[in-house]
Structure 1
Amino acid sequence: MREPIDKSQLTREQRYRIGGAEYRALDILVKLVPAYYLGNVILFAFFFRIYIACSTYAQDVLRTTNATGPIDPWFFSFFQSLSAFNNLGIMLCDASMVPFQNAPAPLIFTMLLILFGNTAYAINLRFIIWSMYKLTPLSRPMRRETLRYMLDHPRRCYTTLFPSTQTRWLLLTLVVITLVEWVSFLALNYWLPVLDGLNWGSRIIDGLFQSISTRNAGFAVISLMDLNPGTQLVYIVAMYISVYPVAISMRNSNVYQVKKKKKNR
């Protein structure tokens, strides 16, 4: 009787076939998740750097905003990208994002990084896998089978990869909570001195930024102490419930827990 072959002697293709779709799915995720992290951080860091190179206002801010001296543009770009993606809320500017109240580009970049790194991470990841599945040609059936397996059985592959129902629910709650914060910012503060000097375009983008940032990261584009108490209350509630949508999605999509419940019945 032949002795079993050690797995180290198997080729990559043999391991793929023997391991099945779940093994291949994990192999894809091992590459996809780090690429997602590094890709977002590096890409948006270059976006920040390009914006600074094209904006004399941003250059003046980095040169004069801190009493300790000017901020290096490259260091600022990568630091801001990394801090926003990891939802740290830390900035090299002493006044946080306040100097960029009238600058939409850095606010938009930071908002996207905050979402991509936290609340919308599971949504983005599923969208990327779905796009890969749609773009994979029919001539590669094994790859399509693997991606389809990841879409049909996401929690068997990754903790924060959810089925379509939970992903849609997560997207809906993200939009609703952000809209409530945004509307409260615009409706309850439009006559207050904290927004004096800001045109409506800046108020809209600043309100959206603050709604996304307050719940997750902690960057500030205006003085939160000077806002209407009603807006502050909405922000407090949003921060309190910020983890629940993802936590509930994880709980409801736990395949092992669902199986256990069915057995108990």
Structure 2
Amino acid sequence: MPIPLKWRRRIGQAIKAVLPPLNFLTVHYVYFIATSIIASVIFYLTATPWRSVAYIDSLFLCVSAMTGAGLNTVDLSTLNSFQQAVLFTLLMLGHAILISLTVLLVRKHGFEAKFKGVSDERERERTSRCQSVFELQPGDGDIVQGSGSADNELPDAACQGPQRRTKTSVTVTNTPCEPSHRDEPWIDGDQVTIGGTTHRHHHRVFPMAGIGARPDLHNHPRDAVPNLPLPTEDSVSGFKSILRGTQKYIASKGLVSRNSQFHDLTAAERDELGGVEYKAVSFLSVVVFLYFVLFILFGMIGMGGWLEANHPDVTRSNGLSPFWTGAFFAVSAFVNSGMSLLDANMTALQLNAYPLLTMGMLILAGNTLYPCFLRFIIWAMRMMLPDQPQWQSWRITLNFILKHPRRVYTNLFPARHTWYLLGTIIILNGIDWAAFELLSIGNKDIEILPTEYRILDGLFQALAVRAGGFYVVTIADLRQGLLVLYVLMMYVSAYPVTLTMRNTNVYEERSLGIYAHDETPETPANTSRSNIVMDLIRHQLGRPGLSETSRGYFVHQQIRSQLSHDIWWIALAVFFIAIAESDHYTSNPVAFSTFNIIFEVVSAYGCVGVSLGFPGMNYSFCGAWHTISKLILAAVALRGRHRGLPVAIDKAIMLPK
């Protein structure tokens, strides 16, 4: 007996409610989970001797490498070369820069498909117009339905081919193919996210909306109203005097509001703007690719060559090739994993300046300061361009990237936000560095180091503890106060870049719902031209006060959302792991303290990789845990890797529809 249509619809809706929507975040999860599982099977089957590495350890190591968590449950030096190569590959496949490069390439292909569709449509319209002219005999007084304006004469160029007839003056009704009015931006108003999105909003068990994006709101840009109302003639002229900026990229009198939203563009101007953005995306795809490849290549050559020439004995004591060990070090540092083939990690090189400085630079270039380095490179290229007509196209492209970075790339920010990010990183790393030096006073394990290397080691550890995952001194030997500080720093490791990402795109208007407008036509700010100007300047500077429509309030709300999003995962993980490790609490209460478990969980969630270790062993503390605890920690690492991603409303992951 067939199922009635009504019940089929209900079943379909129930299935849809359970399945997550197909968007960028979902695709990201699927990629990480599928790649980790496939790699873990290969890793497990290639172990020598057979089954020398348990499958749970294989799965955990692959997840740890893919997410950049960097924790290891077995000594990596005991793995064979192929297994080490699997981890080496996963370190790069899971890195944020490579994934963002994939997004650029997908968007580039999307633009090309869009332009091809526009070109085909115009060709069909031209053919249709030509056919209408061919059917009209001279002297006929009929009205032909076609494109163009009223009482126009079709030009000779409108119809080309062997059957073209004599030019005839005809009357054409006003049914233009392109709208004569100015419309909302093509790039903003007609896009879908990478991986697809749904236009109808259903209640889902797993909304996959991301932090700060409420699934009960219409978050797609087409559902948001423009955030800069222009109620009066004076207001329009006042805003235009500040907002007009499209003429730098296209011949237009359109307006550009905050968050790089273009308004008042015709259909032709939107197509031209799409061309400028396409060139920007294409250019960035090359620059990001070269950035990723060259940093890894030079890092591998530098570290591998240095170890080969200076300290080959350090690696050969573990039965490892010096160059391969150095190359693994470089990649692990750049992707901010902290995995090391050496059992002693970076403590074996704590009295060598070159590897410490090189690894520290790679840690910064691959994560926290990547947006700063990338913007500086593009700015330098723009400044070096000759002021000649043949370079005009390149100047327009680079100006567009620098002025509207978050339209084209997730990890490129405006100048002011980039400076704020740089300052934040310097302050946080400075706090870690100062705390290391101060709280190491009286610590005999640290004071035995020469003064100059103690300072350098403190700097390296400050850089590594927030994301890098390496340790240049034994972490368990540090003071408890410093360990507590490290827990806090690992917890907030993703915050500077993540909050900057959300503060430079459409999140405040389209994710929390209360930021759809900065002002309304009824507010006094719209009654005079000078007030509008000052209010807009204050808003662009991000200093309008903590009202419910300000960016300061938005950042405050985002921090609260992030904290609530993070804390319950960490709390539940610690709770369940503490239950699973109850027998270890009894047999080894010192090593299995609750603080040690919290430290390990936060390190995994922050995708850092610093561990207190287990007495007498070289692997991470989690290597002594039960199977269920390792699975929980792997899930925590996966969740933590996805906490700072852009969500479906982000322009930089949208495709032209």
Q: TM-score, normalised by structure 1?
A: 0.88
Q: Using a 3 Å threshold, how does the CA distance of structure 1 residues 202 and 17 change in structure 2: closer, same or farther?
A: same
Q: Is the 8 A contact 2:439 2:481 kept in 1?
A: yes
Pick the aligned partner of 1:184 from 432, 435, 440.
Answer: 435
Secondary structure of the corresponding residue to residue 122 of structure 2 = coil
In the TM superposition, what are the counterparts of 1:7-86 in structure 2 within 5 Å? 19-55=274-310, 58-64=311-317, 66=318, 69=319, 71-86=320-335
Q: Is the 8 A contact 1:88 1:218 kept in 2?
A: yes
Q: Tell me what 1:222 maps to.
A: 473
**1:240 and 2:488 aligned:** no
Q: Tell me what 1:152 maps to.
A: 403
**1:4 and 2:122 aligned:** yes
**1:135 and 2:388 aligned:** no
Q: Tell me what 1:95 maps to.
A: 344
Deviations 1:44-100 (A, max 9, x none): 111113322431xx2121122x2xx2x112211221111111111101101110100
Q: TM-score, normalised by structure 2?
A: 0.36
CA distance in 2, matches of 1:78, 1:200: 29
Deviations 1:182-217 (A, max 9, x none): 001001103212214310111011001111101102
Structure 2 counterpart of 1:42, one-letter code: L
CA distance in 1, matches of 2:121, 2:471: 65
CA distance in 1, matches of 2:430, 2:453: 17
CA distance in 1, matches of 2:419, 2:123: 45
Consecutive unaligned residues of structure 2, counting only runs of 5 or more, are: 1-119, 125-270, 521-657
Pick the aligned partner of 2:367 from 90, 103, 118.
Answer: 118
Pick the aligned partner of 2:354 from 105, 108, 117.
Answer: 105
Structure 1 residue 19 displacement after superposition: 4.5
- After superposition, the CA RMSD in angstroms is 2.1
CA distance in 1, matches of 2:429, 2:507: 32
Structure 1 counterpart of 2:381, one-letter code: M
CA distance in 1, matches of 2:431, 2:316: 36
Secondary structure of the corresponding residue to residue 463 of structure 2 = helix
Structure 2 counterpart of 1:124, one-letter code: F
Q: Is the 8 A contact 1:155 1:255 kept in 2?
A: no
Q: Is the 8 A contact 1:156 1:255 kept in 2?
A: no
Deviations 1:208-264 (A, max 9, x none): 111110110211110111111121121111111111111110111014645863378
Structure 1 residue 38 displacement after superposition: 0.8
Secondary structure of the corresponding residue to residue 340 of structure 2 = coil
CA distance in 2, matches of 1:101, 1:144: 46
User: Between the two proteins, what is the percent identity of the paired residues?
Assistant: 37
Structure 1 counterpart of 2:345, one-letter code: S
CA distance in 2, matches of 1:5, 1:157: 29
Secondary structure of the corresponding residue to residue 386 of structure 2 = coil
Q: Using a 3 Å threshold, how does the CA distance of structure 1 residues 96 and 261 change in structure 2: closer, same or farther?
A: same
Q: Tell me what 2:539 maps to.
A: none
Consecutive unaligned residues of structure 1, counting only runs of 5 or more, are: 7-15
Secondary structure of the corresponding residue to residue 88 of structure 1 = coil
Structure 1 residue 180 displacement after superposition: 0.5
Q: Is the 8 A contact 1:123 1:167 kept in 2?
A: yes
CA distance in 2, matches of 1:256, 1:25: 22
Q: Tell me what 2:176 maps to.
A: none
The structure with more radius of gyration: 2
Secondary structure of the corresponding residue to residue 4 of structure 1 = helix
Q: Is the 8 A contact 2:440 2:447 kept in 1?
A: no
Worse-matched range after superposition: 134-143 or 150-159: 134-143
CA distance in 1, matches of 2:439, 2:372: 31
